[in-house]
Amino acid sequence: MSGSTRRPGDDKPRIRPLSRDPDKKPRGLERIADLLPQTAREFGLEEQLEQARAAAAWLEVLSERVPAAVGACRLAGLSHGVATIEADEPIVAQEIRLRSSELLAALRGTAGTPIRQLRVSTRHV
């Protein structure tokens, strides 16, 4: 054995404090939701962010209005105000079509993007 003694935690990586520019004032905390639109724009991901928000809004509306269809259909695309809904079974697609005006009205109030039409299709497996 060597003469050195090991202390607990000696093998852990050392964390260095961030170097701070003395002339720079620290920024306040910002919410991620406030940063996402600008960051998405900078990386050219605005369309993907818009689709993610619409998909979340669709799931929220669907769970409130047609809970039996949750998991059996999804927002598959969004283009020029047309939301494409993909259903796993024809009966689910029919239910969404029959209630499309109600779902569309609720979706318009929830989604951050203007949606003027629902297009429903059955997924081909």
- Tell me if 101 is assigned to some domain: yes
- Tell me if 47 is assigned to some domain: yes
- Tell me if 69 is assigned to some domain: yes
Domain of residue 77 covers 35-122
**pLDDT, position 110:** 77
- Tell me if 104 is assigned to some domain: yes
Tokens of 48: 């993907």
Please give the model's pTM, rounded to 2 decimal places. 0.65
Residue 78's domain is classified under what CATH number? Answer: 3.30.300.180
- Tens of pLDDT, residues 49-107: 888 888 999 999 999 999 999 999 999 998 888 999 999 999 999 999 999 999 999 98
- Calpha distance 118→95 (Å, rounded): 13
CB atoms within 10 A of CB 72: 18
- Tell me if 22 is assigned to some domain: no
- Tens of pLDDT, residues 21-40: 666 665 677 787 777 778 77
**pLDDT, position 41:** 80
- Tell me if 12 is assigned to some domain: no
- Calpha distance 51→65 (Å, rounded): 21
Q: What is the largest CA-CA distance in the chain?
A: 81
Number of domains in the chain: 1
Q: Categorize the per-residue pLDDT at 5 as very low, low, confident or very high, splitting at 50, 70 and 90.
A: low
Q: Which of 7-11, 26-30, 42-46 has the weakest average pLDDT? A: 7-11
- Tell me if 109 is assigned to some domain: yes
**pLDDT, position 8:** 64
- Tell me if 27 is assigned to some domain: no
Instruction: Considering only residues 24 and 117, tell me which one the structure prediction assigns the higher pLDDT.
Output: 117
